[in-house]
Structure 1
Amino acid sequence: MNPKLFRNLLYIALAMILIGGLLASAVQTDFGRVTIKDVRFAAPNGRLYSALLYIPKGVSAEKPAPGILAIHGYINSRETQDGFAIEFARRGYVVLALDQSGHGYSEGPAFADGFGGIEGLRYLRSLDIVDKNNIGLEGHSMGGWAVLIAASVFPDGYQSVVLQGSSTGTYGAPDGTPEFPRNVAVVFSQWDEFSGLMWGTPRAADVGKSDKMKALFNTQEDIQVGKIYGDINAGTARVLYQPRVSHPGDHLSQVAIGHAIDWFQKTLQGGNPIPASSQIWYWKEIGTLIALLGFFLFLVAAGGLLVEVPYFKAIVDPLPAAKGLTGWGWWLGALLTAAIGPLTLFTFTTWAGKIFKASWFFPQNITTQVTFWAVLNGLISLALLLLWHFLLVKKSERGGGDEYGLTWNGKLNWVKIGRSFVLALCIVLLGYATLLVTDFLFKTDYRFWVFAVKLMSPTHFAIALRYLIPLFVYFFLASLALFAQMRRADFGLWKEVAVNALIFIVGYTALQLVQYIPMWTRGMLFDPTQPLWTIIGYQFIPILGLAGALTTFFYRKTGRIYTGAFLNALLFTWIVVAGTATHFPL
């Protein structure tokens, strides 16, 4: 293929990364009116915490401003709160967007120090630019529990609270009473997946009927949405808001973010009187999405150019003959490939949660569960491939290791396999370099909503090495099965890339629809016992879609499965490890 095409793609990719970064940076700094600092601070026990500190222009020790502590939920990070933090800072509040313990760049384990909320509030109150008599607390999901614990430790250290998709009296958070917490707004969406856990009601729309919330609001009647109960001046004010979004949808909802803005404007003194409806945060989300897409395009473009380098050109072989399924058999194979992963997701991850506990070797529970599910799926794919190969294909029509992209003249070529790994490593390192530059210039990463490509800390690098080999096993076996059974001689490069990406994601898209159509129609997930993995399942769509595209592209470029399998293992181990929680102290 003409290298000029890949040079042009590279220029486009870099332009997207640059434009996206510029846009995101401009919006999150309110076009120069807010300074953002990446801060680290130590708890009394020595545990190091990470946060983004938003400082509005004109704020100083002589002119302190109201402060807000904003904390994300489980397996997210400080950047997930960007929509809230940007809008709070635009209105003149100093905002500390904290990485919970064991999340992002804060040291682990997860759940330590009251999820990190205690130390976050302690640090915010230590800043001389913050009006210590005028502090608000905002937390999403588990971040709500974090700010409630902080409020209980510093009962006179805050003025009001916004619980986004969260609750009192859950997982160590103190119970709500008519007096605690002070001036609280509960923003609990109508389609929140965690209503059972949070408030004890199967349907999120019914949380206002729960005894738990009635105790908080000091009433025996069902809570009326939007009505303020109690007295702001006395610190007993309570209000319930219910936007029409899901639990993670709070982060993409102008309504949910607007309720938080409005409540702090009612309960904190000072700041800029910008209407709650005037919001710009979504342009930052658009900017980081443009950069994210540019990053994905960069990987393809960089790989397309690197394979032309003499060292790597040695691994480029002609495409072997297609020996896979044909006719209706191909469609059945596509259906099985698409369905096996989603059908086993909830079961296998549940098994893993019971079998594996956080340890020095596998310190991230979610990553361990994903890895267990992935390896079992790889073994299922291998078993089905062997059954098909030996039982359903005539011996005279069977492919071999060469046709399946595994061998060269019937033998493994370790030199070419090694160079395939070096090629994949170079592509990932170049992609990582673009993120380093983006972080340095713009203080942003590549993300959209709950899916993010983040820089790794030294701890993340050490953790990634432990998960890399089992995740490579999955991508290797998945690629082997894909190209042994699903290759079609009538598909060109880009058509095969698109079809395989679609095969990899259509099942997870269907799983989301199966779960959420009942939520939208009757207020409950189809399987209400799996809210966490339903939400995690959002990320399987971009991850596996990209994996299907990359493995196909590099198979077509090299004639073998190795480069794509190595690349996917390196790339997605990085993404998953950097983007989830660490449960064992390292």
Structure 2
Amino acid sequence: MSKLSKPVRLLFIGLLLILIGSIVANLLQTDFRRVRVKDFYIGTEKQQTVHALAFIPKHCTAEKPCPAVVTSHGWLNSGEVQDAASIELSRRGVVVLAMDAYSHGMSSNLTSDSGGTWGAMSTTGMGMISLVEYLTSGILDYVDTSRIGVMGHSMGGGNSFTTIMHYGRLYNAAIEEAMHPDSDGGEEITEAEQAYADSFNKIWAALPTGAAPRMITEASNPYKDIYANLGVLYGYYEEGGFGSSTGNAVLIGESKEALDLVNFPFGELRDAPIKYVEEGVFYGNKADRTLRVLYQPKTTHPLIHFMPNATRDIIEFFTYVFDLNTQLGPGNQTFLIKELFNFLSMIGLFMIMVPLAQILMSCPLFAELKGEEGPKIPALTPKSRKLWNIGILLTGAISFGAALLSWLIYDKIFVVATKPKAIFNAPTANNVFTWTAIMAIWCMFWFWINFKKDKAAGIRTDEMIGWKITSKEFWKTLLLAIFVIGGVYIVVWFCKWLFNTDFRIWTPAIKTFAPDKLIPFFPYLIAFFLFYLSNALIVNGAMRVEGMSEKKNLFICAVSNIIGAGLVGILQYGKLFFIDHNVLWGPQEFCSWIDPLVIIFAIPVLFLAPYMLRAFYKITGKNWLGPMVFSTMAVMILVMHNCINGLFF
């Protein structure tokens, strides 16, 4: 038997990592087959559809129904990011519906008259109210309709508040009608009228996370519309904490937010008001829905759904309010291990891309695309090393400045991004798109001006940069890229079908998607392709030098790629953690604290890029296939689980 070629061996290793990661992730996700995980779709108002990933403990039956929780992700995510709550609560006997909010994931997009994301959040809970109606309808005989909970992160926390207040308003309206002189009991509320009003209190408990407790003002008393046991989980290092009454995210103690939360059940001041709110202490009585609690785990906003300490609080809250009979303590958690195996699968997915291209190039159709890397640029002299380092630092500084500039201008350029049928209709992606476009222009300019100067001096040649390509080679390269990306997504769809898992680390993910999500994909691809093309030219045509080891060279390229975004992260979070408990950017009018966060999210992709671009360059001798494949994956990660407005409505 002949020995397998290196590309085939690498392909097998990558597929093996994917298989191991997906199998173990599935076992942990299903609590070793004690929980069923399946996709739910329900039709909702205005001809929309809500998708949820359902976690159903197998012991839940019509004879022994279980409590249920609807959980919602934040604006930048989709339902899978709620794994911590979904896995840990279902392990303890709770049915969990991890929803995709409207305009996210596999749910349909908002209609043209929804009032945008925030309008829909304040009226429909982005689909959460419809899911609660579905759960409480009695159609699922294994669900205890008297024990329904809602929770969610960030935007999902807002959805939770919207949902419980929706039912509270219905209850208050029924009570007001019952007290009308013309009602059955006149101004007295009859037993039947009270029972009718009580029928609207469908939520037993709610736990918004990453959303600050509401405050009572002269104009508004939000707690008068809440008739549910209520906990709020707000990170100790929340980036948006500067808007709180304390001036930062620390609310435990005597803050107005904390005191209003625990002292005004049903909007009425307690007989014995609490003077100092302690973290994790239950105030009130769950039996009459007056229980209130504030959690402040030491975590930032985007890490809430990824940190064991925050997950511990979620487990503790629902275990107590639902009277769960479980021997699993709050510290007994497996979700993070599951996430690590998702990451192992993601590593395997990126690992198969290059060998898949090599195997395809053994076919006659793509055989002419095979090539070898060109000569490296001459070894660095003291003078050229100095210029080399200056170029790296200058590009890093411009990347940092471009990030600030993008926050200032992207919502002015894409002012209609939240409107139906906008071309660039993923609002948060427009931030990264603007930054990427600026950097594509700079990198192209910097590369070519230096290349022409060095070529005139006889230091570099056309063979060193892998730029020249015929029209026939270009179209074949594009076709090969489509085949590679198609192969990758066959694996993604197969793992979703067989294991119901995806490929992720934290929030960046490669996952299945609704076909209509491809509509905004192509406009965003242009700038990303140009950026990664310029990045490939720099990595392979300007930074590949004689006398430097491949590992060291690639590491320098990777670090160079993240200087700008890394500096954003250091300044933003250095101030938050070590100076005054507030972020550097966010309180100003020109940007939101989310804008730097989105740039920071790009760091893993930017760090990986030189390794992938170099690998594709080595097998083709040109800098075209790598950018085609990698820019596609980068845009898919950015767009496919993000908020997308408009489309067909």
Corresponding residue number in structure 2 for 1:99: 100
Deviations 1:154-177 (Å, cap 9, x if unpaired)?
Answer: 23011111121113559xxx9642
Aligned residue identity for 1:404: I
Corresponding residue number in structure 1 for 2:607: 545
Tell me, yes or no, if the aligned pair for 1:101 and 1:107 is still in contact at 8 Å: yes
Q: Secondary structure at the match of 1:38?
A: strand
The match for 2:470 among 413, 421, 429 is 413
Pairing 1:16–2:17 present = yes
Pairing 1:234–2:296 present = no
Corresponding residue number in structure 1 for 2:310: 256
Deviations 1:222-271 (Å, cap 9, x if unpaired)?
Answer: 53223322332221221112111111221222221111111112212455
Quick one: structure 1 residues 98 and 208, their matched pair in 2 at CA, closer, same or farther if it must change by over 3 Å? farther
Aligned residue identity for 2:63: E
Pairing 1:297–2:355 present = no
Tell me, yes or no, if the aligned pair for 1:195 and 1:207 is still in contact at 8 Å: no
**Inter-partner Cα distance in structure 2 for 1:354 and 1:263:** 42
Aligned residue identity for 1:160: A
- Structure 1 residue 399: Cα displacement: 4.0
| Structure having the higher Rg | 2
Aligned pairs for 1:337-376 (under 5 A) are 337-356=395-414, 357-358=416-417, 359-376=421-438
- Structure 1 residue 310: Cα displacement: 3.8
Aligned residue identity for 2:602: F
Corresponding residue number in structure 1 for 2:62: 61
**Inter-partner Cα distance in structure 2 for 1:339 and 1:421:** 33
**Inter-partner Cα distance in structure 2 for 1:534 and 1:62:** 51
Corresponding residue number in structure 1 for 2:392: 334
- Structure 1 residue 491: Cα displacement: 4.2
**Inter-partner Cα distance in structure 1 for 2:361 and 2:325:** 55
**Inter-partner Cα distance in structure 1 for 2:454 and 2:638:** 38
- Structure 1 residue 538: Cα displacement: 3.8
Tell me, yes or no, if the aligned pair for 1:66 and 1:271 is still in contact at 8 Å: no
**Inter-partner Cα distance in structure 2 for 1:347 and 1:85:** 39
**Inter-partner Cα distance in structure 2 for 1:191 and 1:285:** 23
Corresponding residue number in structure 2 for 1:114: 125
Deviations 1:311-355 (Å, cap 9, x if unpaired)?
Answer: 333123343344587311112222233443233223214311122
Deviations 1:73-121 (Å, cap 9, x if unpaired)?
Answer: 1111111001111111111111111111111111113443332221222
Q: Secondary structure at the match of 2:530?
A: helix
- Structure 1 residue 151: Cα displacement: 1.1
- Structure 1 residue 532: Cα displacement: 1.0
**Inter-partner Cα distance in structure 2 for 1:186 and 1:5:** 54
**Inter-partner Cα distance in structure 2 for 1:448 and 1:318:** 33
Deviations 1:482-509 (Å, cap 9, x if unpaired)?
Answer: 4443231334555544432332234433
- Structure 1 residue 14: Cα displacement: 0.9
- Structure 1 residue 200: Cα displacement: 4.7
What TM-score results when the alignment is normalised by the length of structure 2? Answer: 0.83
Aligned pairs for 1:162-177 (under 5 A) are 162-169=207-214, 176-177=222-223
Tell me, yes or no, if the aligned pair for 1:371 and 1:470 is still in contact at 8 Å: yes
Tell me, yes or no, if the aligned pair for 1:6 and 1:302 is still in contact at 8 Å: yes
Corresponding residue number in structure 2 for 1:49: 50
Tell me, yes or no, if the aligned pair for 1:333 and 1:485 is still in contact at 8 Å: no
Tell me, yes or no, if the aligned pair for 1:72 and 1:100 is still in contact at 8 Å: yes
Corresponding residue number in structure 2 for 1:203: 248
Corresponding residue number in structure 1 for 2:141: 128
Corresponding residue number in structure 1 for 2:635: 573
Quick one: structure 1 residues 168 and 205, their matched pair in 2 at CA, closer, same or farther if it must change by over 3 Å? closer
The match for 1:397 among 448, 455, 458 is 458
Corresponding residue number in structure 1 for 2:562: 505
Quick one: structure 1 residues 271 and 47, their matched pair in 2 at CA, closer, same or farther if it must change by over 3 Å? farther
Tell me, yes or no, if the aligned pair for 2:399 and 2:563 is still in contact at 8 Å: no
Deviations 1:259-294 (Å, cap 9, x if unpaired)?
Answer: 111111221245535322222212211211111111
Aligned residue identity for 1:351: I
Aligned pairs for 1:150-229 (under 5 A) are 150-155=163-168, 156-169=201-214, 176-177=222-223, 180=226, 182-197=228-243, 199-206=244-251, 208-218=253-263, 221-229=275-283
Pairing 1:459–2:513 present = no
% of aligned pairs identical? Answer: 27
Higher mean Cα deviation, 158-167 or 14-23? 158-167
Aligned residue identity for 2:629: L
**Inter-partner Cα distance in structure 2 for 1:30 and 1:396:** 65
Tell me, yes or no, if the aligned pair for 1:65 and 1:271 is still in contact at 8 Å: no
**Inter-partner Cα distance in structure 1 for 2:371 and 2:404:** 40
Corresponding residue number in structure 1 for 2:177: none
- Structure 1 residue 477: Cα displacement: 2.8
Number of residue pairs matched?
A: 576
**Inter-partner Cα distance in structure 1 for 2:474 and 2:44:** 47
**Inter-partner Cα distance in structure 2 for 1:42 and 1:553:** 46
Quick one: structure 1 residues 236 and 399, their matched pair in 2 at CA, closer, same or farther if it must change by over 3 Å? same
Quick one: structure 1 residues 233 and 470, their matched pair in 2 at CA, closer, same or farther if it must change by over 3 Å? same
Tell me, yes or no, if the aligned pair for 1:176 and 1:215 is still in contact at 8 Å: no
Corresponding residue number in structure 1 for 2:545: 488
- Structure 1 residue 516: Cα displacement: 1.6
Tell me, yes or no, if the aligned pair for 2:455 and 2:461 is still in contact at 8 Å: no
Quick one: structure 1 residues 545 and 140, their matched pair in 2 at CA, closer, same or farther if it must change by over 3 Å? same
Corresponding residue number in structure 2 for 1:427: 484
Deviations 1:497-524 (Å, cap 9, x if unpaired)?
Answer: 4432332234433432222222222322
**Inter-partner Cα distance in structure 1 for 2:4 and 2:403:** 40
Tell me, yes or no, if the aligned pair for 2:519 and 2:647 is still in contact at 8 Å: no
**Inter-partner Cα distance in structure 1 for 2:334 and 2:340:** 11
The match for 2:158 among 145, 158, 171 is 145
**Inter-partner Cα distance in structure 2 for 1:200 and 1:398:** 62
Pairing 1:285–2:296 present = no
Corresponding residue number in structure 1 for 2:195: none
**Inter-partner Cα distance in structure 2 for 1:312 and 1:14:** 23
What TM-score results when the alignment is normalised by the length of structure 1? Answer: 0.92
- Structure 1 residue 70: Cα displacement: 1.0
The match for 1:443 among 487, 500, 505 is 500
Tell me, yes or no, if the aligned pair for 1:176 and 1:216 is still in contact at 8 Å: no
Q: Secondary structure at the match of 2:495?
A: helix
- Structure 1 residue 533: Cα displacement: 2.6
**Inter-partner Cα distance in structure 1 for 2:65 and 2:439:** 56
Pairing 1:83–2:84 present = yes
Higher mean Cα deviation, 17-26 or 322-331? 322-331
Tell me, yes or no, if the aligned pair for 2:516 and 2:647 is still in contact at 8 Å: no
Deviations 1:203-237 (Å, cap 9, x if unpaired)?
Answer: 21246544233222225745322332233222122
Quick one: structure 1 residues 401 and 353, their matched pair in 2 at CA, closer, same or farther if it must change by over 3 Å? farther
Higher mean Cα deviation, 446-455 or 364-373? 364-373
- Structure 1 residue 459: Cα displacement: 1.0
Q: Secondary structure at the match of 1:536?
A: helix
**Inter-partner Cα distance in structure 2 for 1:338 and 1:555:** 23
Q: Secondary structure at the match of 1:576?
A: helix
- RMSD, aligned CA: 2.5
Q: Secondary structure at the match of 2:288?
A: coil
